[in-house]
Amino acid sequence: MTELLYQTDSYLSEFDASVTRVDEERRAVVLDRSAFYPGGGGQPCDFGRLRINGSEYAVEKVKKEGEEVFHFLGGAGSLPSPGQPAYGVLDWSRRYQLMRTHSALHVLCGTVFRDYGAQVTGGDMDPLKGRMDFEFATMRAELVHEIEAAVNREIAQGREIRVNILPREQAFQIPDLIRTKINLLPEGIQFVRTVEIVGLDLQADGGTHVRNTSEIGSVRVADYKSKGAINKRIYLEVL
């Protein structure tokens, strides 16, 4: 089992751990704890480096399988062994761009729901750009500037972003979470991690976020596509 350090501290960019398992075939190591985000919820995985036993390995992909986080190593050198201490360093520039982008997309969700009552059905992101799909029958190209201005106003408010880990039963009492389809969470999950943009948006979410919307900077609605009468896609760029 890997302790997921990024869940409680998104700003942790370097960490100590130890190797618990080595997958020779896939050139991957499992650590007992990790700050590397393994991807999920539309946010891509982190990259970075691991120092183990005097060798430095590039981390080229990270993936969570069951309770374990696998760090896929580049190069062709010999692999570490279980039990060895490891020091992890994230590619912080990429990760911080993803944090700003992910938080910007939540500001977009919160703003579009508040102003138009439209719900999110999906989303995806890369560093500094993302897209979100909405059930938004009345969306049209003319609204793009209105939405962009409203999102930038919310960002400039300097709203605090809070992460909480709540017992399942408690989370199911929160009306905002029920709206964002919390009931789709698997049965076995006992705790729900929530991300709240204070006064704007509250979602069950596993990703990494900035502490305050002011860190996002500003955004541009780069494009908009109609995917049918109901479903509309909004493309966002973080500047």
Long-range contacts of 224-233 (CB under 8 A, 24+ apart): 224/139, 224/141, 224/144, 226/139, 227/133, 229/137, 230/135, 230/136, 230/137, 231/121, 231/133, 231/134, 231/135, 231/136, 232/118, 232/133, 232/134, 232/136, 232/139, 233/131, 233/132, 233/133, 233/134
Residue 22 or 234: which CB sits closer to Zn ion? 234
Q: Give the residue with the Cβ less far from Zn ion, 19 or 104.
A: 104
Count of positions on this chain that bind Zn ion (CB under 5 A): 2
* 154 part of the interface to Zn ion, by CB under 5 A: no
205 binds Zn ion (CB under 5 A): yes
Which of 34, 28, 92, 16 has its CA nearest to residue 60?
A: 28
Query: CB of 123: closest distance to Zn ion in angstroms?
Result: 7
Residue choice 27, 207, 208, 219 for contact with Zn ion (CB under 5 A): 207
Residue nearest to Zn ion (CB): 205
Shortest Å distance, C-beta 235 to Zn ion:
16
Q: Which two tokens stand for residue 16?
A: 């100590």
Q: How far is the CB of 129 from Zn ion (least distance, A)?
A: 15
Binding span for Zn ion by CB under 5 A among 5-13, 31-39, 57-65, 202-210: 202-210
DSSP state of 98: H
Mark the segment that binds Zn ion (CB under 5 A) among 22-30, 87-95, 108-116, 203-211: 203-211
Q: Nearest 5 degrees, angle CA 38-CA 108-CA 112?
A: 135
Nearer to Zn ion, 193 or 232 (CB): 193
Angle between helices 143-156 and 92-116 (to 10 degrees): 120
* Distance of closest approach, residue 17 Cβ to Zn ion, in angstroms: 26
Helices (H), the chain: 92-116, 143-156, 168-171, 175-179
Residues 36, 199, 141, 225, CA torsion sign: positive
Min dist CB 180 to Zn ion, Å, is 10
Looking at the Cβ atoms of 37 and 136, the one nearer to Zn ion is: 37
Q: Going residue by residue from 155 to 194, which x/- string records binding to Zn ion, judged by CB under 5 A? A: ----------------------------------------
* Least separation in angstroms between CB 135 and Zn ion: 17
**Site residues (CB under 5 A) for Zn ion?**
205, 207
